[in-house]
Amino acid sequence: MKVPRTQSGISLIELMVAMTIGLMLVMMVTSYLISSRQSYQTSMANVDVQDARRFALSVVQNQLWMTGYSDRWEDFDVTFPASDGSNGEMPDFGKAQLVAASQDDDIWIRYRAPELANQPLVNCDGTSFPSSGGNDANSIAMTRFYLSDRTLRCKVYPDSGEPHDALPLLNDVDALQWRYLDDSDQWQTLTTVDDWSTVRAIQMRLIVASSESTGSHFQQVFEWEGNPLNFDDGKARSLVSLTTALRNLPDAAQ
């Protein structure tokens, strides 16, 4: 009679080793997937910030270049007369003054409609500013850039008539400030500008956050007016600075 062969299975130690190796592989794959997802979310958040920032900066710079635009040959004292901001929303403008501000995070600029026909200007909100055709009525417009509810907005105020609706340009703005280069050759703030008619360059500084979280929390610190601003909400942020020299100035301010 033939004796059957003895069979043996996996020992407990071998089973535990196999399970440990399998668990390590699962953890490695899981860690890689989580890391890849976080990298993707961070990349998309940064792209989101950059695309929105690029559009907003283009609109702001193009509008600042329009400051003081006029087809007229008269002196700026005549082309841009004083305005007392009587409606309670706009700031006062002196003669030949093209730039004004009512708070640290807003700016107002003035420009005129072209005298020649068929060359309308485009306001920051996309509306056309038609030629004046020699008629001085409603031929001066003011554009205001300001921060409201963490959104950079622009709003156009015709010389007469109702202001346009505010247009949002950039969301998730945590801080905004304007600086002004005047005849002192120093960058000034709202409270230190002595003569607004001598402003010849404008600088915009803002901190922009992504609309979505990157998936991981990390601390970001920005120096802002001598005080650190700390953020730890998982959103990607960047400090943006835009400096624009004004193109259309009185000879005395250039």
- Mean pLDDT per 10-residue run, the chain (254 residues)? 59 75 80 65 61 85 92 84 76 91 92 77 85 67 93 88 89 93 92 91 92 76 88 85 90 54
pTM of the full predicted structure?
Answer: 0.78
- Asked if residue 36 is part of any domain, the answer here is no
Whether 26 maps to a domain, the answer reads no
Question: Do β-strands 235-245 and 201-213 pair in parallel, antiparallel, or remain unpaired?
Answer: antiparallel
The answer to whether the beta carbons of residues 142 and 70 sit under 8 Å apart is no
Is the residue at 185 inside a domain?
A: yes
Helix (H/G/I), strand (E/B), else coil: 28:
helix
Q: Which residues pair with 151 in a beta bridge?
A: 148
Residue 6 lies in a domain: no
Structure tokens at 171: 């969301």
Domain around 132: 42-253
Q: What is the DSSP string of 92-123?
A: PB-TT--EE-SSTTEEEEEEE--SSTT--EE-
- Give me the number of domains the chain comprises: 1
